[in-house]
Amino acid sequence: MVIKAVFFDMDGVLVYWSMSVEEYMSSLYQKLGLHFPVEQISFVHEEVRKWWKERFLSGQARTREAWKEYDYRILQGLGAKGDLRGLSERMQCLRENVLEDADEKLYSEVKGVLRKLQEKEINLAIISHRPFTLSLKSLEKHAIKRCFQFVVSPETAMTPKGKMSLEMWHFALDKIRVKPNEALHLDDSYEWILGAKKAGIQPVLVDRKGIYSSITDCCVIHDLTEIFEFL
């Protein structure tokens, strides 16, 4: 079957941060006058992330209020003092400028690959767990928004479980008007790749760091230039 559409995840596929999540969070806390060791932030972040993942997969939406609760729990775990609810609100406001604060960058091959895909008249779209507005801001920042027909997030597709829900994939396929076997999805998470596979979409795992050497049940590439092998 001829491939007519390619779906892209954002983080780890098109863009990356020049600092780790823990370093980024540390910089945000410092803006609030809070100082915690990166190692402590990393430990608490992992613990709260387990709660977040369980919450998300149970069908509860990724809303602004949910993110505030996430930050509240981390502040609790770090032993922060004072008005933690107020601090979590301020954290959320700071998060909305993540592209600049975390110095988000575009992978070097992205623009060339997108241009070649467009020349082949392949339809392109974003499927990401990022908040919808954050994905748009990123595409605009890197001047690649015009390359994509649309952006799908759990909120726009109204699918709280995101990529683990068949509804999210069906929503994207309906918008781009192709059959499942006419589409590829590129993602850097093996877990999310499985969602695309269940929907009948050919998954391609983007393994830039070489951490998925044992994966054999889906296609694996190491940068986006290798995508043309599947077209």
Banded pLDDT at 145 (limits 50, 70, 90)? very high
For residue 102, pLDDT beyond 80: no
Q: What is the DSSP letter of 6?
A: E
For residue 73, pLDDT beyond 90: yes
Residue among 66, 75, 64 nearest 25 (CA): 75
**CATH 3.40.50.1000 location in the chain:** 5-17+104-230
Q: What is the pTM of this model?
A: 0.86
Burial of 61: CB neighbours in 10 Å, binned 0-12, 13-18, 19+: middle
For residue 101, pLDDT beyond 80: no
pLDDT digits (tens, 9 = 90+) for 152-190: 998 889 888 889 889 999 999 999 999 999 999 999 999
For residue 57, pLDDT beyond 70: no
CB 179 within 8 A of CB 162: no
Amino acid at 17: W
Domain 21-101 has CATH 3.40.190: no
Q: Mean pLDDT across the stretch 49-71?
A: 79
Q: Mean pLDDT across the stretch 126-148?
A: 93
Q: Mean pLDDT in the chain?
A: 91
What is d(CA 31, CA 91) in angstroms, rounded to the nearest whole number?
9
User: Can you give the pLDDT at residue 126?
Assistant: 98
For residue 21, pLDDT beyond 90: no
User: Can you give the pLDDT at residue 161?
Assistant: 82
Q: Which residue has the tokens 């781009």?
A: 176
**Per-residue H/E/C for the chain:** CCCCEEEECCECCCEEECCCHHHHHHHHHHHCCCCCCHHHHHHHHHHHHHHHHHHHHCCCCCCHHHHHHHHHHHHHHHCCCCCHHHHHHHHHHHHCCHHHHCCEEECCCHHHHHHHHHHCCCEEEEECCCCHHHHHHHHHHCCCHHHCCCEECHHHHCCCCHHHCHHHHHHHHHHHCCCHHHEEEEECCHHHHHHHHHCCCEEEEECCCCCCCCCCCCEEECCHHHHHHHC
CATH fold for the domain made of 5-17+104-230: Rossmann fold (3.40.50)
pLDDT, greater one: 40 or 57? 40
User: Can you give the pLDDT at residue 60?
Assistant: 66
Banded pLDDT at 58 (limits 50, 70, 90)? low
Banded pLDDT at 112 (limits 50, 70, 90)? very high
**CATH 1.10.150 location in the chain:** 21-101
What is d(CA 231, CA 224) in angstroms, rounded to the nearest whole number?
13
pLDDT, greater one: 182 or 23? 182
User: Can you give the pLDDT at residue 61?
Assistant: 67
Q: Mean pLDDT across the stretch 136-152?
A: 96
User: Can you give the pLDDT at residue 18?
Assistant: 83
- The alpha carbon of residue 161 and the mean position of all alpha carbons in its chain are separated, in whole angstroms, by 14
Q: Which residue has the tokens 């091959």?
A: 109
For residue 59, pLDDT beyond 70: no
Banded pLDDT at 24 (limits 50, 70, 90)? confident
